[in-house]
Structure 1
């Protein structure tokens, strides 16, 4: 992978962010503001930055707090509304639980904005990987099953001159993103959920990156699938059951409690599911909290950036 460690100065990053915001305001295509070479440079540098940190992030809750955002799915206006409500880095710290792409109308703008902000304020923008940050979503079979919205592979083909090659470069970056975070020795944060193979935090720390199937042992792949895909299921008697999503497992209250006890943690904070109010206590207490940021319907919030 190209080492662009010294390629992007603070001034250049801020110029990129400003240019991208101009595109969003004018509903102009990203390619009017960014060349292919510039996007490649940004992706390489972001992958470099992600690789500087472990696949499992472990840190204390910042003294000034942390704003957690769930699934965004290309809804740039939900992201901008969150910035308007809570403030911008570096004054406000953000933890994002993944699912930045697919479905929404501004997938490319959203993921580029988040990456640029991560590069500009690396300690204030914490980005985890979701199940949609995965090359598997280019499958024709999956296109036939899920029909709402447009998939990121198609966005790259339609909006960038490099077509599918650029999509692979985005996925090279996705493959090195962290997949989970432990905060203050209490909170486990990830996109999907816990796994029956989570017997200790070392299991997560040992998942190799890039997360190619050929690099992982079988149980490491199972563990990663649950981290990205698992769902809480309050109404099942089985601690862990095969998910109807076709990947990963579901977990009930007892399954979650067993894993949290093994990890010496108290609470799971996750995304992956939509709730009308934006958050849910899946088991009626604070053991499992789901956060979803994008609304069910994409609405016009252009006034937020006017």
Structure 2
């Protein structure tokens, strides 16, 4: 089929790669404009999708808005049968949604209608969900409200981080979208409206959510740590200079004490109920390190009280 692909981050790269491998005609790739990089922000860095598209020799477009008559006309000129959207990062106006004959398909990282919105992977883990998935949805004007064509369920392991789940989802999602396109081409892709019950919104992660609150139960602390790992990262201040220490991996542990108290030589920290053991941390300006390596260069003896 003739396809326009719209995506930006690493998460979208396997889907584009799979679409090309399946022999579809990708008329153009739309992605976010190159972002400033470098210490002074003078260098412009193309998105991961931009780079892979150029490698395939596919024309790349980076409009800052799709709402102008000029952009609509340019999109129409591509004459796509279908548009595939994966973490594009821009809202598609109704006029754009109406162009492809077979609609616009979005790959979304949740079991819709649970976790519509910007941060479905992180929110699922932070909420303690034991299962999530990827869904192929036909887009409409509402926020992730369109009918669903295909779903693949993915279990969330007890110590799985958002990074782990992201990497699993992007591969499963690429295969799911390829299967959806094959079914669509045969006229065999049926869409089911989302249920009105069970709607949850995955709001963008705010900075205020990232500091660890040791007074919360250990399960909540652990879920927040893994749901925010590796980015933006749950953190706590350490030492007189209150240097930020980001926690990248943790696990539930035995132990009890005043919240924030270091209970042993293995970075087990008491919470409001129960305890968590910090397995991998990263001090500001340093590389990630396991607990033993971190403790060899930082004094955090048992009895230390973390803020």
State whether TM-score is above 0.5.
Answer: no
Task: Flag the structure with larger Rg.
Answer: 2
> Looking at both structures, which has the greater relative contact order when contacts are Cα pairs under 8 Å and sequence separation is at least 6?
1
Could you say which TM-score interval applies, normalised by the shorter chain?
A: under 0.3
TM normalised by structure 1 equals: 0.27
Structure number having the greater helix percentage: 1
TM normalised by structure 2 equals: 0.26
